[in-house]
Structure 1
């Protein structure tokens, strides 16, 4: 069925990366490399994560002095902890990590810091500030942008009315909480907006969001807008509404804006909008190399966002060869 197509693509991408956990930027000069850098990825199942890996691999290819070791946490905190412990034993010169869960990875990040390995945290933070740098988007800012646009779609500030379904990402991740909090800074000011669900987590996955939305559709005769914490979940909700014959009555907002996913779905009229959440892999690796070369780096590097609607989606696709 159509709603499984994207999942099949994501699983295929995950399999590609899982089979190559060790990546060397230039094998022919591997013996001459001086900078062994480890990257602990939370999972490669999600399309955004697959793009994340592609971007960091492409950046590593520009630096023949770098040996980049990539591990896949397989969407399991305990696996990612073991991965980082292994990278510590390999005495990597720097550790880049994108945690599955903030609390669950804090202990092993602290171990790396205690071992004098500089740590660069990408996308999701940990519960210590002793790392060298955080690189990622401002999830609260993106949530605010989504909330402001939701209010606009539902009638405008002071007049907005409608029933909203919010589908959370992982409950144990700070980005999900920030995307929720930012969104509600705008929608909670509108007495005409009613939230239909209470912290329903789709765990960032399209199929789980489909199921959440299918239940919401059965239980509610009127749904006006869906806010998914990422594009696959927003699209999963759209597909559930389409299967129920109700997609034309509902607006769908997501986050990520990958050209082949969210931007395409906006261009097709399936999502009303998506907001760019740039992958931090390439910038994170650049920053780590700068630090290892003795340059100063900022404590936080915030990547910019962009609202994608029907007005600019086609240009973004064209610029990306789609």
Structure 2
């Protein structure tokens, strides 16, 4: 009897070891695995992909030239391709339109971690502060460092076109975030454009608004008054969804912003004209913070706000049951991974889709903590976790 017991115990021990080994093997192959921190992911081996746990949703956005989107979840660099890129000793530069929010920070983090896995040195990260002339100067400065790759987001598609074209003509592999300069062609002047499903996120913001208002009321819309196709898609999707699905909700006021700090001023003017406004859509999270301040200052504490992008301040308000009832979230860390993968496609002369999008993510108080982890690849700050309790 004792021998039988020892034999069974040995089998159980061997099985446990085998299971542990299988589990460890799985965590090392997923580029966006939630089991790895960004730092661990940067040092891990295996193929590179975005987080495959992102929910599959139909991509509704179109690209800057009307292209149908390819899901970012389909992109991959194999382990062999990564090793080939490492052998090239390449360098990259990141040219931002603005680097002062959580979205930009996460984009840069995703790019840097993935470039590290690919053995690519990041030689510059620039912030144009939403000034086209500064971005043109930034690109000139970056080109002096002779990078093999530039990942950038144009402040203005017209006035920055010449500078980005100069980079492309110099043989730099260019990948764009969200938008592309006028006159540049995919496959010739740049590898690809990567964005979130902004149209899908606009629909999510409209559905959350309607639910919070009981599908009736009067609302305002704060849009981005600039030639920016991704922010335009958000507003178009929000307004179309309200008009087509929710006929008892009326858009009674529209106001445009040209920069992230205009939200409070525009929202204040809107609330002065419409003191008992029921809701307000704001095109992204930073101006939505201004709208939240305007609502508090006006005494309209019942105003329902929805927006796009899961920044810290709006996440805290959602978690605590405040005026911001929810939003459509981009996944900027995974967008950064996608952009780095596509830069790799360019280096390898591998065929790339012209337009790639990460699926939309609907965020409300019920899933704000889970959404934060999907968006940023780490747990929400303690303040947001405490508010959600």
Both proteins in one fold, TM over 0.5: yes
What SS does the corresponding residue of 1:301 show, helix, strand or coil?
strand
What SS does the corresponding residue of 2:292 show, helix, strand or coil?
helix
- C-alpha distance in 2, partners of 1:54/1:265? 25
Q: Does 1:144 align with 2:196?
A: no
Task: Write out per-residue CA displacement over residues 29-77 of structure 1, whole angstroms, 9 at most, x where no aligned residue.
Answer: xxx9721112211122233223322332333333434344222212210
What SS does the corresponding residue of 2:117 show, helix, strand or coil?
coil
Is contact 1:71–1:83 with CA below 8 Å preserved after alignment? yes
- C-alpha distance in 1, partners of 2:303/2:89? 54
- C-alpha distance in 2, partners of 1:295/1:134? 15
Is contact 1:266–1:273 with CA below 8 Å preserved after alignment? yes
Aligned match of 1:192:
248
- C-alpha distance in 1, partners of 2:94/2:137? 13
Aligned match of 2:24:
none
Give the unaligned 5+ runs of structure 2: 1-41, 44-86, 382-389
Please tell me the root mean square deviation across aligned C-alpha atoms, in Å. Answer: 2.6
What SS does the corresponding residue of 2:92 show, helix, strand or coil?
strand
**Which of residues 281, 296, 301 is equivalent to 2:351?**
296
Normalised by the length of structure 2, the TM-score is 0.66
Aligned counterparts, 1:109-188, within 5 A: 109-127=164-182, 128-130=184-186, 131-156=190-215, 161-188=216-243
Q: Does 1:261 align with 2:313?
A: yes
**Which of residues 295, 298, 302 is equivalent to 1:244?**
298
- C-alpha distance in 2, partners of 1:229/1:65? 34
- C-alpha distance in 2, partners of 1:261/1:124? 26
Is contact 2:226–2:258 with CA below 8 Å preserved after alignment? no
Is contact 1:60–1:285 with CA below 8 Å preserved after alignment? yes
- C-alpha distance in 1, partners of 2:339/2:116? 14
Aligned match of 1:204:
260
Q: CA deviation at 1:202?
A: 5.5
The farther-off stretch of 128-137 and 105-114 is 105-114
Q: Does 1:101 align with 2:156?
A: yes
- C-alpha distance in 1, partners of 2:371/2:238? 25
Q: Does 1:276 align with 2:297?
A: no
- C-alpha distance in 2, partners of 1:317/1:65? 28
- C-alpha distance in 2, partners of 1:94/1:51? 19
- C-alpha distance in 1, partners of 2:181/2:217? 36
Q: Which one has the largest radius of gyration?
A: 2
RCO (CA 8 Å, sep 6+): is it higher in 1 or 2?
2
Q: 1:65 to 1:201 in 2, by over 3 A?
A: closer
Is contact 1:81–1:105 with CA below 8 Å preserved after alignment? yes
Give the unaligned 5+ runs of structure 1: 1-24, 27-31
Aligned match of 1:216:
270
Q: CA deviation at 1:240?
A: 1.6
- C-alpha distance in 2, partners of 1:47/1:150? 23
What SS does the corresponding residue of 1:143 show, helix, strand or coil?
helix
Aligned counterparts, 1:33-44, within 5 A: 34-44=89-99
